[in-house]
Amino acid sequence: MVFVEMVEMVDILKRADYDGKYGLYTNPNERKAKIMSKVVKSLHRNFGVRRSKEQLRKCWSDLILREQDQYRRIKKLLLKSDVQFVVPKSSRFTSDSAQRIIQEIMFCSCDLDLIKEKNKEIEQRLKNTIDVLGRI
């Protein structure tokens, strides 16, 4: 599952309180099934991909349990009010493979931003270490 699809899925699941953190619900399993149906429809409509509810449930649990960094990055992206994360639908790129390439480019762009941030942090740590060693 590409990054932009995960962003869409997390956005829907968080808005709909999929995990039930904000209330007790009657028939939680039915509710979760309806929410997952919305995710399936949204992914098909926006990205042209078909994913089963089971695939999406697995992806969600993997994000929550195993891929904490990526989940935090998605939440951070969704919290930015000035950013609208939209996949451009160009008339020149109508095939599924072309759309996937565009999505991968957008994914790589997000990764590049993270690498730049981490690089700045490492440079700052090195400067601090050099300053401390210079004082000794």
Task: Reply yes or no on whether the pLDDT at 53 is more than 80.
Answer: yes
Tally of domains within the chain: 1
Answer whether residue 96 shows pLDDT above 90. no
As a whole number, mean pLDDT of residues 109-117 equals 83
pTM recorded for the entire structure: 0.55
pLDDT of 112 higher than 80: yes
Whole-angstrom distance, CA of residue 113 vs CA of residue 70:
13
Residue-wise pLDDT for 61-78, tens only, equals 888 888 888 888 888 878
Which residue range forms the structural domain that includes residue 31?
A: 3-135
For residue 83, pLDDT over 50 is answered with no
